[in-house]
Amino acid sequence: MTAALRLGTRKSLMATTQSQMVADRLTALTGREVVLVGVTTLGDVSRAHLTQLGGTGVFVNELRARLIAGEIDFAVHSLKDLPTKQDERVVVAATPPRDDPRDALVGSGKLSDLPAGARIGTGSPRRVAQLRALRQDLEYVPIRGNADTRIGKIASGELDGVVLAAAGLGRIRREAEISQVFEVDEMLPAPGQGSLAVECLAVRDDLIELLSVIDDPATRAAVTAERSVLAALEAGCAAPVGAFASGDGHILSLTAAVVAIDGVRSVRKSASGPLPAAMDLGRELAAAMIAEGAGTLMGEQAH
Ligand SMILES: NCc1[nH]cc(CCC(=O)O)c1CC(=O)O
């Protein structure tokens, strides 16, 4: 009998749910048994670490360390949490079909229904900048913590709403509390939002082949283009950068924006190209954005 594959995952509800989805799909398609191995990351232990260590890369690095140590066979990450610089010892062996890429408001009503001065919680400069473009008269409050903690601040009266990724809300079964899903043209998602990355060691050819059955090439092309924008802008996960690509199977359409924190000034561009050229599409779009001043807008961020 073949040994069960060990899938490393963070222990949060969102992480274990998405890891279990991947495990079930892999077992259904290959017959291989998969066991989840819970891993505590520095980012889970301390929010202070998260800011000090420079963003969500801390979630990813601990799982990669377990891969390299041979304690797990593969790992599942939220793709938008992956640093743009890839560790050459690991590969993204699969990008499963993407879930809803959009951002969502959890609150008592739509953004346009909220009274002036209402307090909206979000720790993301990308969300704050785009929310300001929609409503200048609301108060945007920086918050951290997992989605449950954030949503809890509405019930306690601290906040009138919070903005989170629709995909994440679905994975923790709180989608019923969504009062508005933002269309991508009013709130451009973070590069990779709603997608997962399945990573294993680059030397595990056997595993790379096995995991390829859960890869969705259309999702891979889209997120490759989006992340290529981020990499070329030399921006991290805390930058006010949105990017979204979708395709019809042959042609990929990509839109990206850098929005100043005041929500007023922005550089926004779109381009399309063949799926296999996803990386170049993103790089070229970013170069055009830099030519229009995107770098200056990003440089203004306090973060
Ligand atoms: N940075 C945290 C994070 N990483 C992935 C998701 C949601 C799920 C996803 O986008 O795939 C979230 C929470 C959020 O942004 O609301």
pLDDT of the residue at 32 = 97
pTM for the predicted model, two decimal places:
0.93
Same domain, 155 and 288: no
Quote the number of domains for the chain.
3
Same domain, 205 and 70: yes
Q: Which residues have C-beta within 8 Å of that of residue 33, sequence separation ≥ 6?
A: 2, 4, 5, 27
Note the ipTM here: 0.95
Question: Which domain CATH number covers 27?
Answer: 3.40.190.10
Same domain, 89 and 211: yes
Residue to mutate (ligand 1; options 18, 19, 78; most atoms within 8 A of CB): 78
Range of the domain at 154: 103-181
* Centre of ligand 1 from the C-alpha of residue 220, in Å: 18
- Residue 225 within a domain: no
Q: Is 165 in the pocket of ligand 1 (CB under 6 A)?
A: yes
Same domain, 134 and 249: no
Same domain, 21 and 59: yes
Where helices occur in 69-216 by DSSP H, the ranges are 125-134, 147-155, 166-171, 205-211
Q: Which of 292, 242, 252 is nearest to 272 (CA)?
A: 252
- Copy the structure tokens of residue 24: 């079930």
Q: How does pLDDT run along the chain (303 residues), one tens digit per residue?
A: 689 999 999 999 999 999 999 999 999 999 999 999 999 866 666 555 444 444 557 789 999 999 999 999 999 999 999 998 889 999 999 999 999 999 999 999 999 999 999 999 998 999 999 999 999 999 999 998 889 999 999 999 999 999 999 999 999 999 999 999 999 999 999 999 999 999 999 999 999 999 999 999 999 999 999 999 999 998 776 789 999 999 988 999 999 999 998 999 999 999 999 999 999 999 999 999 999 999 988 876 544
Q: CA-CA distance, 217 to 97, in Å (whole number)?
A: 8
Strands 251-259 and 241-247 turn out to be antiparallel
